[in-house]
Amino acid sequence: MFEGLIQIALTLIILVAIAPAFGNYMARVYMGEQTMLDRAIKPVEEIIYKAGNIRFSDSMTGWQYARSLFYSNIAMGVFVFLIFMLQGVLPLNPTSLSAPTWDTALHTTISFLTNTDQQHYSGETTFSYLSQLTLGFLMFTSAATGLAVGIAFIRGLTGRPLGNFYIDLIQSITRILLPLSLIIGLLLLIAGVPETLAGPAVANTLEGGRQVIARGPVAHFESIKQLGENGGGFFAINSAHPFENPNAFSNLLATLAMVSIPASLIHTYGIFANNKKQGWLIFWMVFTIYVGLIAIAAIGEFQGNSQVNNLLGIAQPNLEGKEVRFGWAETALWAVTTTGTMCGAVNGMHDSLMPPGGFATLFNLFLQIVWGGQGTGTAYLFIYLILSVFLTGLMVGRTPEFLGRKIEKREIVLASVVLIIHPIAVLIPGAITLAFPDSLAGISNPGFHGISQVMYEYASAAANNGSGFEGLADSQPAPTGLWWNLSACFSLLMGRYVPIVALLLLADSMTNKQPVPETTGTLRTDSVLFTSVTAGVILILGALTFFPVLALGPIAEGYAISGQSLPPTINVPAEIKPLSLPTISPGQTIPTPNN
């Protein structure tokens, strides 16, 4: 246990150390200040701006920003869908894979376009190298889209113009995602992750058989997968595969990569708001919730399954569904981090988590702010801050203000839209699926765990996470596979684009407001008291909205496991005597029994 806690603590310490420096760098990038990459990157950016007729001085309104985002996403989506449907006749297809079904291609396109990367297929047996490389392209653009929205929202809150979507998109790639992905990709190569366009390797086994070992351009895919909070695996078992995550070093690197940008963006906000104290307070609030959920998951995995432990007569951690390279501690840390950051990559099977781990991961997907999606998660966090200002203002009889600007009806309506879309995108398709468990769901585990499997799938899609409890027939032919692909597309689109529009309109509304002078009656939002109130609002709203799902899923499953009795013992009849063997001394001749 001690070794596992040291591993978790070391990761958290590194995160706290790098977040402020990285947040300061991102603030300099988006504020147009000089950075160390200017000399190398600026000439490339100027060529892109000229080719696209993008003028640096043009700032957009909320609707203009949203329309630009939609136009670019639609164009990229159509391009990638065509690549999938034509992959059978396109190059870089060493295993001659045919095109997937149209619904699988559609779901995959929308999934990667929305930074979700939910997979209803096995990568190595469904998509060619060209298709996988195309998915890598979407990993950059979808992550950059989320970053652009997040930074536009921060600008609006702090009274600045929203900026230009295309410039924010390009700079997110050239200044942040691409340089770091190159560094991480090289480190993964050193760690043993392959990067090749050669076909699968064929090995002759000792038994005289042949084993086909899938490989491909994995290292660069893995780096942006983690850094961009994409999470889609090159192989079916994702980061539990030794070619994606071969050792403890690659596991640490991947964990820090997926949490570094969303954690650092909070410090970026503090710089934009000229209030680093508030940035630190918000950081520690999210960090505290994050550590609490890690503790819940880790304790559950360390204690293991009480039924198994009673049968064995010893207490041992839950090792089902885990890679021995990482064990219970690193799997618990990864599970909470990947669902907290909306990355969705897995280094163990979430379906095998104990109920406390299932609770922590589902709770993350419901809240969406620990640490949240790429850019958009930080925006969701400030939606809760705005609601907290509004609620506390009502309680004390003061006009709610945030960063010197009044919070009025329009802001509350837009904030409510952001929060209410998520339960709609999760609970409605989940209820329909559970109403037809045989024809639609294809649930492998009946009872409480089956409820968790279904609701996790839609929560993962709506939160743009992409991980899954699995155990569902989502990769099977129609009707189950078709239902999962199309219904998940509904959650993917609703959970991504409706909140983005509301966030941009809210930011536009805030930036156009006249600042209000601060007085003695102004509610300060950079205090420990207000931050604690915000944490309470987050936990209460999240718990109340989805408490029935948590109660019928992981909580009920936990009670069921702890309350089950042991399997009945076998009573041996008295006439059946146990076999007794004589004691044989060294050198003694063993008599041969008579027939």
| 343-371 pLDDT, tens digit each | 999 999 999 999 999 999 999 999 998 99
What tens digit of pLDDT does each residue of 556-578 get? Answer: 999 988 876 444 444 444 454 44
Judged by average pLDDT, the poorest of 58-62, 253-257, 345-349, 550-554 is 58-62
Q: Is the pLDDT of residue 523 over 90?
A: no
**pLDDT band for position 525 (cuts 50, 70, 90):** confident
Of 247 and 402, the structure prediction assigns the larger pLDDT to 247
* Statement: residue 61 has pLDDT above 70: yes
Contact 330, 251 (CB under 8 A): yes
* Letter string b/e over residues 454-464, b meaning 16 or more CB atoms within 10 A of that residue's CB: bbbbbbbbbbb
Report whether pLDDT(589) > 70: no
Mean pLDDT to the nearest integer, 69-86: 96
Residue at token pair 């050193």? 190
With a CB cutoff of 8 Å and minimum separation 6, the contacts of 108 are 84, 100, 119, 120, 121, 127, 135
127 phi, psi to nearest 5 deg? -115, 140
pLDDT band at 544 (very low <50, low <70, confident <90, very high): confident
Confidence band for 278, pLDDT divided at 50, 70 and 90: very high
At residue 319's C-alpha, the angle toward residues 458 and 356, to 5°, is 45
pLDDT band at 2 (very low <50, low <70, confident <90, very high): confident
Sign of the Cα pseudo-torsion (191, 193, 195, 197, in order): positive
Q: How far is CA 330 from CA 92, 232, 348, 558, in A?
A: 35, 19, 9, 22
Q: Mean pLDDT, the chain, as a whole number? A: 88
pLDDT tens figures, 202-227: 888 888 888 888 898 999 999 999 99
Q: Which residue has the higher pLDDT, 216 or 580?
A: 216
